[in-house]
Structure formats: C-alpha cells, structure tokens
C-alpha cells in the first residue's frame, strides 16, 4: 500500500526543524524511516508533513565528553556497532547494535528513532535502561533532560512530544562486564525476550534492562534487589515479577516468561565472565 499524500521538508539545522514542527501539529519527524515509513504504508501513521532530520549534521556523533558517552540521536545502529570508542568505553552498545535486524536496517535505522518509537520489542530500550541513560530533548521552549526511568511511557509512546526532537543520548562509561542476550523473532530480528545486564563486580550490584516481554521495556528491580551483594545468577526467576508478560502471535505469555528467566540468567553469567 502507498502512504497517504504528505508534504516533505528537509531542514538543515535543529532550530529550523523545531520551527517546522511548531507550525504544524500533524507534522512528524523522519529519521532512518525504518519504522515510520512502514507505518505510513500501512496507513497506521498519516502525517500531513514529514520533517526529514537526516541532513542535520549536529545530530550525528559519538564522543566521550565530561566523563560520559554522548551520542547524537541520528547516529545509526551500524555506526554504534562499528565504534572503537564504544567497544572500549561502553561495550554494551556495540553488542546490542550488532543484533538489530539486518545490515540494511542497521545502516539506515538510528538510535534516536528507535528510542522515540518505543516499540516494546526493540533492542535499545533494554540497554538504555540498564545503563541509566539520560536524554536531551529540544522543543519550542528550549531543551530539557529526561531520565531513562521516565522515557518509556507506554507501548509505542516515549516522553518525546510531537513538537520535540530527541537530540542526544548520554550514557556512563562502563566496565567490560556487560552482556545483551535476546531470543529474536526469526523474520525481523525484533526481541521476544531481550535482556541487557551490567554487573558491577566491585560493589556487587547488577542492573538489568528487559525488552520484548511487557508493553514497555523495564528495569528488573526485583532481580537487582535480590542479587545485591550476593552470588549473581540464582534470582533470575524474579525477572517477570513486576510485569504481566505479553501474549501475542509471536509468543505466549508463558513462553515469554520462560525466555525472560533463561535470558536473564544467561546475560548475568555472560556479564560476570567478562571484564
Ligand atoms: C525489517 C526490519 C527489521 C527490524 N529489526 C529490528 C530489530 O531486530 N531490533 C530493533 O530494535 N529494531 C528493529 N527494527 C527497527 C529499526 O531499528 C528502526 O530503525 C527503528 O525502530 C526506528 O529508527 P529510524 O531511525 O528508522 O526511525 P524512523 O522510522 O524514521 O522514526 C520512528 C519514529 O520516531 C520518530 N523520531 C525519529 N527520530 C526522532 C528524533 N530524533 N526526535 C523525535 N522523534 C523522532 C519519528 O517521528 C517516528 O515516529 C527493524 C526494522 C525493520 C524494517
């Protein structure tokens, strides 16, 4: 099916893009287009104007800054997968990126687009939650910072409003003791159960982000609390304590609950064996 007719705008600066969004409440941002364009073809999305942010150079970078990693929202999955800086300083990100979709998806799809889209089966939400990322969002009233705990609002809805643009994602420098384990839907690669784990060996704490299981990605706090200061893998069964697993054409709730527990244990063991 073809998308409904729309106007196309291609701003070259962030300020211009925000002004275009402010002029039209039916306008939508286009990043890599790998979620928005399929939705438009199915007429699930019918924006009357597309604001293509693909030519805004100030939204695409990976750098170490003030003791953190800063990534522009238009950075592609492939750029993250192939970043030597990230392999060294925040290795969970390349590990997640290389498990996304296929080469074409990774070449066009962006970190910012995936996060704003807030698909409950997307990979990035598990990682940004486990890493306690923060998000720089720009809108007509200026910039604001959103913490990862507040970013995913519900299924397919993030904290970024229609007239705002996600600009930057900031993450901590981490040790190598991280892992991402997913059971993927075979055709698309989307997660039926994805677990991102960060093990802090010195303080004996873990951070666990989960995707694919519930209507939105979440931190497995029950697992984290149960494991604080202890041997690390026994408490993975608590991974679904805080949520009602989804039941859909890809997997039953019971199968998802099982996968979440297995992948949680595997991610923790893998992270523990590294670094
Ligand atoms: C065949 C296929 C397989 C896939 N497999 C996987 C997979 O295994 N794992 C996975 O996680 N994902 C997968 N994806 C999704 C892919 O990662 C997309 O790239 C991603 O979800 C959206 O990123 P995008 O840059 O293409 O965003 P777009 O499609 O351009 O935009 C998505 C949404 O975000 C909004 N938006 C985009 N950028 C911004 C911004 N900076 N500020 C404000 N709003 C913004 C848009 O308005 C739109 O609503 C797959 C997609 C396809 C087509």
pLDDT score for 65:
96
pLDDT score for 237:
76
- Atom of ligand 1 minimally distant from the CA of 124: 11
- For residue 66, the tally of other CB atoms under 10 A from its CB is 6
Q: If you count them, how many residues does the chain have?
A: 275
pLDDT score for 161:
97
pLDDT score for 246:
96
Q: Indicate the top mutation candidate among 31, 50, 161, 165 to test ligand 1's pocket, ranked by most ligand atoms within 8 A of CB.
A: 31
Q: Indicate the top mutation candidate among 14, 75, 113, 114 to test ligand 1's pocket, ranked by most ligand atoms within 8 A of CB.
A: 113
Distance 50 CA to ligand 1 centre (A): 15
pLDDT score for 234:
63
pLDDT score for 129:
98
Question: CA 152, 156, 162, 166 torsion: positive or negative?
Answer: positive
- Atom of ligand 1 minimally distant from the CA of 74: 41
Please give the chain's pLDDT, 275 residues, in tens.
899 999 999 999 999 999 999 999 999 999 999 999 999 999 999 999 999 999 999 999 999 999 999 999 999 999 999 999 999 999 999 999 999 999 999 999 999 999 999 999 999 999 999 999 999 999 999 999 999 999 999 999 999 999 999 999 999 999 999 999 999 999 999 999 999 999 988 888 899 999 999 999 999 999 999 888 776 656 777 888 889 999 999 999 999 999 999 999 999 999 989 97
Torsion, Cα 220 225 231 232, to 10 degrees, reads 10
Distance in angstroms (rounded) separating the CA atoms of residues 111 and 97: 9
Distance 173 CA to ligand 1 centre (A): 25
Q: Would strands 49-52 and 7-9 be described as parallel, antiparallel, or unpaired?
A: parallel
Helix runs in 1-158, H state only: 14-23, 36-41, 77-81, 84-89, 92-97, 103-108, 111-117, 124-130, 148-151
3-class DSSP assignment, residue 259: helix
pLDDT score for 105:
97
Phi, psi of 49, deg, nearest 5: -140, 135
Q: At a CB cut-off of 8 Å and minimum separation 6, what does 65 contact?
A: none
pLDDT score for 232:
62
Phi, psi of 57, deg, nearest 5: -60, -30
pLDDT score for 233:
59
- Ligand 1 interacting residues, C-beta cut-off 6 A: 28-36, 38, 73, 100-101, 105, 109-110, 112-114, 116-117, 119, 122-124, 160, 165-166, 188-190
Nearest CA to ligand 1 atom 12: 122
Q: Are 114 and 122 in contact (CB under 8 A)?
A: yes
Q: Would strands 165-172 and 157-158 be described as parallel, antiparallel, or unpaired?
A: unpaired
pLDDT score for 201:
85
Distance 109 CA to ligand 1 centre (A): 6
Distance in angstroms (rounded) separating the CA atoms of residues 200 and 271: 9
Q: Which of 69, 65, 60 is nearest to 93 (CA)?
A: 69
Q: Are 90 and 126 in contact (CB under 8 A)?
A: no
DSSP string for 186-223: TTT--EEEEEEEEEETTTTEEEEEEESSSSS-EE-HHH
């Amino acid at each position: 099916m073809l998308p409904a007719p729309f106007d196309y705008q291609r701003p070259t600066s962030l300020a211009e893009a925000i002004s275009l969004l402010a002029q039209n409440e039916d306008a939508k941002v286009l990043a890599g287009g790998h979620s928005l364009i399929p939705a438009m073809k199915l007429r699930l999305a019918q924006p009357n104007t597309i604001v293509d942010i693909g030519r805004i150079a100030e939204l695409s970078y990976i750098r170490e800054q003030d003791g953190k990693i800063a990534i522009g929202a238009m950075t592609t999955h492939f750029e993250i997968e192939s970043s030597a800086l990230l392999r060294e300083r925040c290795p969970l990100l390349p590990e997640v990126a290389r498990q996304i979709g296929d080469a074409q998806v990774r070449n066009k799809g962006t970190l910012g687009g995936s996060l704003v889209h807030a698909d409950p089966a997307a990979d990035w939400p598990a990682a940004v939650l486990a890493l306690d990322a923060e998000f720089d969002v720009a809108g007509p009233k200026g910039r604001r910072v959103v913490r990862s705990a507040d970013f995913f609002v519900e299924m397919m809805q993030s904290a970024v409003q229609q007239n705002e643009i996600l600009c930057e994602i900031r993450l901590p420098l981490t040790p190598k003791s991280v892992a991402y384990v997913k059971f993927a839907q075979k055709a698309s690669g989307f997660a039926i159960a994805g677990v991102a784990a960060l093990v802090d060996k010195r303080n004996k704490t873990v951070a666990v982000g989960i995707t694919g299981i519930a209507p939105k990605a979440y931190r497995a706090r029950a697992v984290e609390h149960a494991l604080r200061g202890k041997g690390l893998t026994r408490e993975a069964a608590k991974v679904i304590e805080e949520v009602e697993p989804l039941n859909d054409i890809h997997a039953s709730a019971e199968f998802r609950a099982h996968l979440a527990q297995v992948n949680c244990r595997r991610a923790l063991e893998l992270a523990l064996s590294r670094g």
